[in-house]
Amino acid sequence: MTALQTALADGVTITKRNILKIRRAPDLLGGAITFPIVFVLLFAYVFGSMIELPGMSYREYMLPGIFVQTIVMSAQITGYTLTLDLQKGIFDRFRTLPMAPSAVLIGQTLGDVLMNVASLVSMALVGLVVGWRIHSAPHEAVLGFLVLLLFAYAFSWVTATVALSLRTPEVFNNIATIVSMPLVFLSNAFVDSTRLPGPLQVAAEWNPVSAVIQAIRELFGNTSAAMPVPDAWPLRHPVTATLLWSALLLIVFVPLATRLYKRAVSR
């Protein structure tokens, strides 16, 4: 077998392991489904009844925001699971086997894509119940979900890198929360970024999360002609910007996480 074939075969083996784990640990999957539902309902009924937007309902505006918030939050599961595995010693077994070192991380991140699919489906269904609608062509809607999953996948590698450098579940959880909160809230997820004060507006408009949200708003047709798109380049070309961001994250963090994995288990 070539190195690439080995890496793929091993990646599949580890992905299967992670799917079995998800099936046997219903708390993980349950969390991935119920948390976002609670968010949708809270935001829809608490903020949705207070905030008025020109030309569209706040519920339609915020749902893409919640989609992205959820994938950013659930990417943390990748990191958290890795820190747990590090402590349990199963990585010692993996490291003495003639397997591709990248396979463990590929398997972990692919398993988490499935978790993301589950949360997206549950959120979309609840969203439809509370009044969110897709106004675009079916192929655009599908593209919207794919773009989301791609960014989620790339972002998993970021959390994997952070987890492997921090090593303990508790420390990882604290840091991940501190980093992900501003990432989600300093964006156009729940507020119109053009109404933020100067420096915050710049930060929000160049935040990759904003580009992703803008991209799926456009792909799902959750936009309003009465709400002008900001001038920042990523928001003018949100789909391209999201693809570029995802590619950049993968190029930087796949090798970085793999290096850290090799090092983390050989101490």
Partner 1 sequence: MSPAILAEGLVKKYGDVVALDGVDLAVPEGTVFALLGPNGAGKTTTVRILTTLLRPDAGRATVAGFDVVAEADRLRARIGASGQYAAVDDHLTGAENLEMVGRLYHLGVRRSKQRARELLERFDLTEAADRPVRGYSGGMRRRLDLAGALVADPPVLFLDEPTTGLDPRARASLWDVVAELVAGGTTVLLTTQYLEEADRLAQTIAVVDHGRVIALGTADELKGQVGGDRVELTLSRPEDVDVARRALAPVAAGETRADAATLRLTIPVSTGTAALTSALGLLAAERVAVRDAVLRRPTLDEVFLTLTGHQAGEPAKSAKSKEYSR
Residue 88 in contact with partner 1, rule: CB under 8 A: yes
| Least gap, CB of 75 to partner 1 (angstroms) | 21
Residue 90 in contact with partner 1, rule: CB under 8 A: yes
Helix (H, G, I), strand (E, B) or coil at 165: helix
Q: Which is nearer to partner 1, 22 or 160 (CB)?
A: 22
| Least gap, CB of 237 to partner 1 (angstroms) | 43
User: Which residue in the set 38, 49, 92, 129 belongs to the binding site for partner 1 (CB under 8 A)?
Assistant: 92
Residue 91 in contact with partner 1, rule: CB under 8 A: yes
Residue 109 in contact with residue 156, Cβ under 8 Å?
Answer: yes
Exposure string for 74-85, b = 16+ CB within 10 A, e = fewer: bbbbbbbbbbeb
Residues 25-54 that bind partner 1 (CB under 8 A): 25
Handedness of CA 180, 185, 190, 193 (dihedral sign): negative
Residues 102-161 that bind partner 1 (CB under 8 A): 103
Assigned token pair, 108: 């972990």
| Least gap, CB of 90 to partner 1 (angstroms) | 5
Helix (H, G, I), strand (E, B) or coil at 265: coil
User: How is the chain split among helix, strand and coil, in percent rounded to 5?
Assistant: 80, 0, 20
Stretch that binds partner 1, among 4-12, 64-72, 145-153, 215-223 (CB under 8 A): 4-12
| Least gap, CB of 120 to partner 1 (angstroms) | 24
Stretch that binds partner 1, among 97-105, 154-162, 189-197, 235-243 (CB under 8 A): 97-105
Q: Which is nearer to partner 1, 111 or 208 (CB)?
A: 111
CA distance 205 to 194: 9
Residue 6 in contact with partner 1, rule: CB under 8 A: yes
Q: Which is nearer to partner 1, 9 or 227 (CB)?
A: 9
Residue 64 in contact with residue 150, Cβ under 8 Å?
Answer: no
Residue 19 in contact with partner 1, rule: CB under 8 A: no
φ and ψ of 189, to 5 deg:
-60, -50
Orientation angle between helical segments 208-220 and 238-264, nearest 10 degrees: 130
Local structure of residue 24 (DSSP, 8 states): H
Residue 218 in contact with partner 1, rule: CB under 8 A: no
Residue 95 in contact with partner 1, rule: CB under 8 A: yes
| 175 alpha carbon, distance to own chain's centre | 16
| Least gap, CB of 155 to partner 1 (angstroms) | 24
Residues in contact with 113: Cβ distance below 8 Å, sequence separation at least 6, in sequence order: 149, 152, 153, 156
Please report, as ranges, the residues that interact with partner 1 according to CB under 8 A: 1, 6, 9-10, 13, 16-17, 20-21, 24-25, 88-99, 103, 265-267
